[in-house]
Structure 1
């Protein structure tokens, strides 16, 4: 079987596996929607009022997108790799022409398709429920895709180095929650201690948030360049994808 055929078969199997899991479908599509309803429509933002959610609604669009761009790859890839290890599936994979990089690439394509659909739902709800004035920039597509590639690599590493599926999920939450709130998504840099600001540059999600904000709402983005942020995020994605593919065990 050719490489294209192998990838097509693995992508098809991955998509069917996701569609059969109702819990996964629920958390991927409905959980972000609930966040938007609670924080966007019920709590609402208070521009100029100080504290949390003191920015215009458009400021928080990257945060809502980050919920799926960050958590879905971390939890799905982490638990999937751990599940394959528990079932000795990588030992069987080693006897096939499908390489570890191809397996991770196919899983990343499935996640990109899922998260792309979820992102469309999120953007529609944000505009409808919060009245956020955003521009639908063509840069949104590469930002979502590159973000998925980056965090799929991280998820593969979590699944490779934790001892079980529960451990992989726990690790994804332990990493994902701090990143979600400390990467200029829902909390601005001005609301954090001054000494912490340089540490934000170590988070790939920071560049995702800054870039998406600059592309969709430049008036609230603080003058960031979306292209530069995309390039930095791409560098993170290449590095983490390579590390993720390398971390996947050949045998168990």
Structure 2
């Protein structure tokens, strides 16, 4: 219970520190919301895809949600843990009585709170600013919940593991560049069917493609499932791929996490 209570306190502290980092807040929290607004204004007219008519906001919403999940989990964890390792924060924390699990609970709390807040704000903007009809069935919201949960967990542990590859000076390029590439090839900014097949195969290896496909199944009409690679929403495969990444990320996190900078003890 002490570790849990300290984890809650650590979550509050993490949120305070996060709110002071304007660049992190913009790129991981506000970026998908601003992009949805930008695409909705640029492509404001109704769009037709797979025999369904929808507004630009409706079309791009699943992709923005998916990008937001990985930005607030993977990117936030990779950048914050790297910075704390390089500036000695982790070394100092390791020498305190605080259990290591409390530190990680604080990071998980940061991801959960920011990711949920981002999704609520993004859905509110879509609903009230651009008139997007949100799902009205429990089944679709259940799909939203498990895709969100698996995606956020996978992003959190993968981001923690990825932090071991970078230094504070290089973390921006090492994290942001791959994330941008994945967003472009995973059906976030373009229809997945418009992406060359060899890039589709590459994207299918990584979680973002499956998060985006899962979110399309929540917000798109069922007739559009025929546009996916498998011709269906493939919920089973989506859960399997995200689950494998979550387990693999957890294992990598345990094996690679370092409290100290390279060359220090």
The verdict on a shared fold, with TM-score over 0.5 as the criterion, is yes
Q: Distance in 2 between matches of 1:127 and 1:10?
A: 34
Query: Which residue of 189, 208, 211 corresponds with 2:211?
Result: 208
1:28 shift after superposition:
4.5
Contact 1:32/1:67 (8 A) holds in 2: yes
Corresponding position of 1:104: 104
Distance 1:12 1:242, change over 3 A: farther
Q: Structure 2 unaligned runs (5+)?
A: 227-231
Q: Superposed, which structure 2 residues align to 1:1-252 within 5 Å?
A: 2-44=2-44, 47-48=47-48, 57=56, 58-95=58-95, 96-99=97-100, 102-135=102-135, 137-164=141-168, 166-219=169-222, 220-222=224-226, 223-226=232-235, 228-252=237-261
1:177 shift after superposition:
0.4
Contact 1:146/1:237 (8 A) holds in 2: yes
Q: Secondary structure at the match of 1:221?
A: helix
Q: Distance in 1 between matches of 2:122 and 2:207?
A: 21
Distance 1:108 1:67, change over 3 A: same
1:46 shift after superposition:
5.2
Contact 1:214/1:225 (8 A) holds in 2: no
In angstroms, what is the RMSD of aligned CA positions? 2.8
For these two proteins, the number of residue pairs brought into alignment is: 247
Q: What are the superposed Cα offsets for residues 204-241 of structure 1, whole Å, 9 maximum, x if unpaired? A: 01111111111232423333143542343132122213
Corresponding position of 2:229: none
Distance 1:138 1:94, change over 3 A: same
Q: Structure 1 unaligned runs (5+)?
A: none
Q: Secondary structure at the match of 2:182?
A: helix
Q: Distance in 1 between matches of 2:234 and 2:73?
A: 26
Q: Distance in 2 between matches of 1:230 and 1:45?
A: 34
Q: Distance in 2 between matches of 1:89 and 1:131?
A: 45
Q: Distance in 1 between matches of 2:59 and 2:253?
A: 31
Q: Secondary structure at the match of 2:75?
A: helix
Q: What are the superposed Cα offsets for residues 126-148 of structure 1, whole Å, 9 maximum, x if unpaired? A: 23344433415133233223222
1:75 shift after superposition:
3.2
TM-score by length of 1: 0.83
Contact 1:150/1:237 (8 A) holds in 2: yes
